[in-house]
Structure 1
Amino acid sequence: MVVPVLHASIPETANAARPVARRLVFGIPGIPNTQEGAGSSSSSTEALPEVADEFGVDTALADIQYEEDEIYVGRVFKSKTDCKIKLAIHAMNRKFHFRTPRSSPAMLLAQCVGNGCPWRVYAVLLDASGKFQVRQANLIHSCTVHERRNYHKLATTQVIGEIMQSRFVGIKRGPTATAIRKIMLDEFHVNVSYWKAWRARELAMDHAMGTMVGSYSLIPAYLALLQSSNEGMTCFLESTDAEDGGRRFKYCFVAYGASISGYPSMRKVVVVDGTSLKGKFGGCLLSASAQDGNFQVFPLAFAVVDSENDDAWE
């Protein structure tokens, strides 16, 4: 199927090009205020602390404390899974193990495994949003060291993935599975297997950068935006019907307008090649390029296909 061109959803009017004036509490130094013009960037930057003091922003930020793994009555978690993960991190940092004798979609009860230990956390569902709130919390321990020694069992793939998620934000690769094993051993004194560390790394990457399935689902919208912003561009997307009623990606072809318009000036030799994609779904990346008068590589088009076969090349 050919991806349609997206049209602008906001009609062009006489006021469409007029900049919208906004009063920013937090600004970026060097960016001028739209109300004062480009020549007053320094004055607008100097006025930012006064605006922040007026609204009490500095005082509010100074009072904020990072909750980390602290558990207290009234703390709200975004979901039941998030509540269990935060409880597991709390227990691993304090070297004890807990169990969940009662658990349902609307409540969660966690108790220390120690015989007669009073440690207990009770959380309930707040509303239809799925958030959980701690209603009761007794954080005093009376268990022995022998009873607390199985805290390493709380280091599941989900818990490790939550701990490592921040290490993948804004970073291309993040720690490897071997590095994750070392981090867990140094910081939490928990020895995990290589396979568990590898699965935790995959979960952390999915949470931080998105899943591969989600990336494939964004291809139609991405190609439509490319067509609307690149004149003369040619792109083609083909998908097949899946068993569950959805669509499954098969082929994708992209040739930018600059490459198409520049081809008549190239040497009349086209080089095609393909390479395997190292990912969960595999596939091949095909490319076509030419050579300009200065003997430099000039890219013409590229495609993502299932494999290097006759149908894909056609």
Structure 2
Amino acid sequence: MENGTLMRVSRILYRNPIVVFGGLIQFDVLSITDEASMENMFQIHRQTQMRLPQIELYVEFETVEVQNDIDIHDDKAAVDEGMNSDSEEDFEATYEAGDEDEDGDVGVEAAAENVVVYPSSSQPMDVPPFMRELDLEAMHAPEFPEYANIGIADPEDGEFRIGMEYSSRKSVVAAIRNFTISKGVDYEVYESEPRTFYAKCKMYGHGCDWLIRASLIRKKGCWKIRRYNGRHTCTIGTISQDHSKLDSDTVADAIRPLVETDPSIKVKSIIAEVQSWFNYTISYQKVWLAKQKSIANVFGGWEDSYQALPWWLSVMVQKMPGSVVQIETRPLYSGNEEAQGVKILHRVFWSFNPCIRAFRHGKPLVQVDGTHLYGKYKGTLLVAVAQDGNQNIVPIAFALVEGETADAWHFFLRNLRMYVVRKDGVGMISDRHESIRAAVNRSGDDWQPPRAWWMFCIRHIGSNFLRAFKVPHLQKLVVNIGYLRTVEVQYQL
């Protein structure tokens, strides 16, 4: 406080890392306003801590005029005096402690009940609710409770013990599954309820009495082993090739660090890693499926990606002004009724501002083509490329469409002409697809002389010629004809 003014916290911000092309990271600034926003911050940190280990917090202050500055000085002096006093009476008057237990320790519950915090009249800021409520038990909770005790039995002999506690149902089931895999045995689930998990050895009653039962302890918010019969006594041998409990979900959780580090890791490499961890060689199909699940867990699934697409494109335009995005959607129908507030992505066209500016300084030539997408939702990617003075290929525009239809090509060429290829006298090279021909004819004079000249790609012509006539040496002659320069010759009749 200086000259009758106080500085108080106006906003608490943190930076959310966003991975863009090439592995670069940009940051989106988000505010912390309540408990939900704090949980969201930690959730984001768990997902991004491999790339950014720290949470970056920023505090903004604002100036507050103080009326009763004498009272504030008096309050501050009283607090300072109490804090610096060596008197036992002053200390006990300031802090009320709970009763000591028989070991001389202060009872946590009693101490918590006796801590009283009165609002200070000298505090000018409105403290958010999450700063006024203290959860003393949370101080001793694990940082990421959903990952606590996953896959852990007793570290001494690898066996369970009655009374062992786990943070969640998922963690205790994962521990039982991993125990079973490591021991080369198997179990059957006899009871699986939201508050109980009960399993027995597959050989139960036939030479083995192994069983385990875990239940939810509601007061403590944890799961506890309530019944355990000890070691397996069955004579089943180790499964040599695969294990029924080593399913794709288990493998997906195990390989998550590998996928976070290298999403393009080969399936064969994962098989080798799983074999070294669990001593089982699992099938290619199971590992492939586990990798897809792990990628979805780390980076989001297909549905999440499509939901994030409008937001991603909007952020791209904000971070890169001058970029262009055009989206076409279709309504969703439930029977004959249109669903409100829900749209289906139909087509999207985009171009980055650096690509748009690059075309202005390159050759007046553009080539367009399409390639099929083989992901979950299929479709076609349309691309336009240009060439600079050093013969380098420069991509200038992209579109996701339903296929190489006349409507899709018209959508792409219209936006390409409107936002990217705006100068006249350009040449457009493509294959001889009938959909492109129809789109060019529908575009009016946008892709007609003298504004543009439409030309055919000689490589496609040669490929089509060979497919039709099956004569390779004639194909070479056709390609060479395409590379000859055109010479204007006047004939006198």
Question: Aligning the two structures, in what range does the TM-score lie when normalised by the shorter sequence?
Answer: 0.5 to 0.7
Specify the alignment match of 1:198 in structure 2. Answer: 288
CA shift, 1:211, in A, is: 0.9
CA shift, 1:95, in A, is: 2.0
For residues 219 and 125 of structure 1, the distance between their equivalents in structure 2, rounded to whole angstroms, comes to: 42
Specify the alignment match of 1:253 in structure 2. Answer: 349
Q: Give the direction of change, closer, same or farther, for the CA distance of 1:92–1:257 in structure 2 (3 Å limit).
A: same
Specify the alignment match of 2:189 in structure 1. Answer: 100
For residues 123 and 175 of structure 1, the distance between their equivalents in structure 2, rounded to whole angstroms, comes to: 40
After the TM superposition, which residues 1-314 of structure 1 pair with which residues of structure 2 at under 5 Å, given as runs? 67=149, 69-71=151-153, 73-77=164-168, 79-80=169-170, 83-114=172-203, 115=205, 116-124=208-216, 126=218, 133-136=223-226, 138=228, 140-146=230-236, 152-176=243-267, 178-242=268-332, 245=339, 246-314=342-410
**Residue type at the aligned position of 2:297:** H
Contact 2:332 2:343 in 1 (8 A): yes
For residues 268 and 277 of structure 1, the distance between their equivalents in structure 2, rounded to whole angstroms, comes to: 29
Contact 2:212 2:229 in 1 (8 A): yes
For residues 200 and 382 of structure 2, the distance between their equivalents in structure 1, rounded to whole angstroms, comes to: 56
**Residue type at the aligned position of 2:387:** Q
Contact 2:252 2:294 in 1 (8 A): yes
Contact 2:325 2:349 in 1 (8 A): yes
CA shift, 1:175, in A, is: 3.6
Name the Cα RMSD after superposition. 3.8
CA shift, 1:168, in A, is: 0.7
**Residue type at the aligned position of 1:120:** I
5+ long unaligned stretches in structure 1: 1-14, 21-26, 35-59
**Residue type at the aligned position of 1:69:** G
Q: Across the two proteins, how many residue pairs are aligned to each other? A: 258
For residues 53 and 375 of structure 2, the distance between their equivalents in structure 1, rounded to whole angstroms, comes to: 38
Q: Give the direction of change, closer, same or farther, for the CA distance of 1:122–1:195 in structure 2 (3 Å limit).
A: same
TM-score of the two chains, using structure 2 as the length reference: 0.45
Q: Give the direction of change, closer, same or farther, for the CA distance of 1:274–1:149 in structure 2 (3 Å limit).
A: closer
5+ long unaligned stretches in structure 2: 1-8, 15-51, 60-141, 154-159, 411-493
CA shift, 1:217, in A, is: 1.0
For residues 28 and 311 of structure 1, the distance between their equivalents in structure 2, rounded to whole angstroms, comes to: 47
**Residue type at the aligned position of 1:143:** T
Q: Which whole-Å deviations, capped at 9, do the CAs of 1:225-249 have from their partners, x for residues lacking one?
A: 1222222221012232345644332
Specify the alignment match of 2:101 in structure 1. Answer: none
Q: Give the direction of change, closer, same or farther, for the CA distance of 1:198–1:232 in structure 2 (3 Å limit).
A: closer
Specify the alignment match of 1:4 in structure 2. Answer: none
TM-score of the two chains, using structure 1 as the length reference: 0.68
Q: Give the direction of change, closer, same or farther, for the CA distance of 1:262–1:169 in structure 2 (3 Å limit).
A: closer
CA shift, 1:122, in A, is: 1.0
For residues 137 and 152 of structure 1, the distance between their equivalents in structure 2, rounded to whole angstroms, comes to: 25
Larger RCO (alpha carbons 8 Å, 6+ apart): 1
For residues 253 and 53 of structure 2, the distance between their equivalents in structure 1, rounded to whole angstroms, comes to: 31
CA shift, 1:220, in A, is: 0.5
CA shift, 1:89, in A, is: 1.7
**Residue type at the aligned position of 2:401:** V
Q: Give the direction of change, closer, same or farther, for the CA distance of 1:139–1:188 in structure 2 (3 Å limit).
A: farther
For residues 234 and 386 of structure 2, the distance between their equivalents in structure 1, rounded to whole angstroms, comes to: 73
Q: Give the direction of change, closer, same or farther, for the CA distance of 1:88–1:120 in structure 2 (3 Å limit).
A: same
